[in-house]
Amino acid sequence: MFLHVDLDAFFASVEQLLDPDLAGRPVVVAGLGRRGVVCAASYEARPYGVHSALPTAIARRLCPHAVFLAPRFHLYEDHSRRVMAILDDVTPLVEQLSIDEAFLDVRGVRRLHGDATAVATAIRARVHDEVGLAASVGGATTKFLAKIASDLAKPDGQLVVAPGKELEVLHPLPVQRLWGVGPKTLARLERLGVQTVGDVARLPVESLVHAVGDAHGRHLHALAHNRDERVVVVERDTRSIGNEETFAHDLTDRAAVERELTRLADRVAQRLRAADVEARTITLKARYGDFTTLTRARTLGAATAVSTVISATARELLGSVDVARGLRLLGISGAQLVATAAEQQGTLNLGALTEETERDERRAAVERAVDAVRARFGSGALAPATLLDVEPRSSERS
């Protein structure tokens, strides 16, 4: 189940939030120069025909009594971050599309937060209570339909399309709702007598291909049947789980560096497991004493949350780092996060053929047990043996 979260009239809503005098009045955030265009229009301004991308001059004619404001992006970014932080609390599987919208994969959070409807309600309540903004949320079994649903739910509403009911919702909609149907495609489709998404669905794919081209035709055909294979892609840079550590004295000893990597890998793995995700890509960050920083990354064959796999990968990546030059900072992060499969098919012990799978499985089991011990007795209760004779570092941050 995917959720699409969209902040209503975002820039205008932030301005209304910050200046109570603006509440309830038409507010237009726009480029105010001669060739400026509208960035956002509050719902009070929309009945006058004001919408984003409209030239500001025309907007002024349509709604002369609106308050026109120049955009203040730093404020919007700040509010956006606070909303995204709420979404990150729900699941790490968040794909931020722009400053005011994001997809969430909520399939794995049912036990924690309830079904999609409950999650949608909770998100809207928290965004309203903690940030003061209205969000509309759409939910469906595909990203495509979730986005349409949030649009249908606007303003300040939610619509979760139950599995099995997708086509009932989708087919009566005008064909322009399909991604990729602009004026040109629309004209071609209208020639085929197509008005609704349902009309598209009923056309043989060959006719669509003939009318609008091969790739485009197949794409529209798939969407009209609510076929959209895309998954939530967690942004590589902004959506990762990592730890880094700055040392009081630059490290020059490879053994000491490797010990630090073990420690960092252990923490990263623990945090991945706590978030019920596994990482496909492991990144090593190293900063020399002169602040030159380098990062090295490797994508694994299978996603992992096992510390020994992460530390082994980090050690391999360390091969290209000149440790003797002195390291003031080390960091490990896991990116390309995927939800942990809750249930895993066991493997028979077939010697060399299954050795690797089994070793990783055993380690994963051990580390889950370690998590349980730490949860009860504190994070210092268990540690990798290589770290036992080393004082804990103090200047850690993540």
Partner 1 sequence: MKFRCERDTLAEALATAQRAVASRNGALPVLFDLRITAIADAIELVGSDLEITNRVTVPAAVEQTGVAVLPKILGDVVRKLEAGPVTVEVEGDEAKVSSGVFATTLRLKAVEEYPRILATDGAGAKVDAHLLAGALRQVVKAASKDEMRPPLTGVLVAARPGGTGIRLVATDSYRLALRDLDGVSMLEDGQKVLVAAKGLNEVQRLAGDGEITVVLGEREAVFRTDKAEVTVRLIEADFPNYEQLIPQGYPNRLVVPKEAFREAVERVTVVGQGRDNANVRLQMSTGGGLELSVSAADVGTSTGHLDAKYEGADLTIAFNPQFLLDGIDAVDASEIALETVDHLKPATLRPADGGDFLYLLMPVRTA
CB contact burial 120-137 (16+ within 10 A = b; e otherwise): bebbbebbeeebebbbbb
Nearer to partner 1, 85 or 372 (CB): 372
Nearer to partner 1, 204 or 346 (CB): 346
CA dist., res. 157 & res. 134, Å (int): 9
Active site residue 95: no
Interface with partner 1 includes 302 (CB under 8 A)? no
**Are the CB atoms for 268 and 244 separated by under 8 Å?**
no
Residue 88 per-residue DSSP state: H
Nearer to partner 1, 18 or 350 (CB): 350
CB contact burial 278-314 (16+ within 10 A = b; e otherwise): bbbbbbbbbbbeeeeeeebeeebeebbbbbbbbbebb
Q: Which helix (H) or strand (E) holds 96?
A: strand 94-98
Interface with partner 1 includes 110 (CB under 8 A)? yes
Nearer to partner 1, 345 or 394 (CB): 345
Give the active site residue among 101, 166, 245, 260: 101
Q: Which of 18, 58, 125, 353 binds partner 1 (CB under 8 A)?
A: 353
Nearer to partner 1, 2 or 11 (CB): 2
List Cβ neighbours of 312 (8 Å cut-off, separation of 6 or more): none
Closest distance of CB 344 from partner 1, Å:
5
Record the tokens describing residue 372, joined without a space.
């349980």
**Contacts with partner 1, 128-167, as mask; x by CB under 8 A:** -------------x---------------------x----
| Size, binding site for partner 1 by CB under 8 A | 21
Q: Which of 183, 346, 378, 380 binds partner 1 (CB under 8 A)?
A: 346
Nearer to partner 1, 351 or 378 (CB): 351
CA dist., res. 191 & res. 296, Å (int): 54
Q: Which of 347, 359, 392, 393 binds partner 1 (CB under 8 A)?
A: 347
Closest distance of CB 236 from partner 1, Å:
24
Interface with partner 1 includes 82 (CB under 8 A)? no
CA dist., res. 37 & res. 27, Å (int): 14
Closest distance of CB 121 from partner 1, Å:
17
Cα angle value 92/94/99 (rounded, 5°): 135
From the list 7, 275, 3, the residue with the least C-alpha distance to 117 is 3
**Are the CB atoms for 4 and 101 separated by under 8 Å?**
yes
Q: Which of 254, 349, 356, 369 binds partner 1 (CB under 8 A)?
A: 349
Nearer to partner 1, 365 or 390 (CB): 365
**Are the CB atoms for 330 and 286 separated by under 8 Å?**
yes
Nearer to partner 1, 182 or 301 (CB): 301
Interface with partner 1 includes 301 (CB under 8 A)? no
CA dist., res. 203 & res. 218, Å (int): 11
- Classified as helix, coil or strand, 387 is helix
Interface with partner 1 includes 1 (CB under 8 A)? yes
Interface with partner 1 includes 112 (CB under 8 A)? no
Hey, what amino acid is at 338? Answer: V
**Are the CB atoms for 306 and 269 separated by under 8 Å?**
yes
- Segment contacting partner 1 by CB under 8 A, of 25-33, 77-85, 249-257, 353-361: 353-361
Record the tokens describing residue 392, joined without a space.
């804990």
Interface with partner 1 includes 229 (CB under 8 A)? no
- List binders of partner 1 among 32-61 (CB under 8 A): none
- Segment contacting partner 1 by CB under 8 A, of 76-84, 266-274, 317-325, 343-351: 343-351
Residues forming the site for partner 1 (CB under 8 A): 1, 107-108, 110, 141, 163, 341-354, 357
Residues identified as active-site: 101
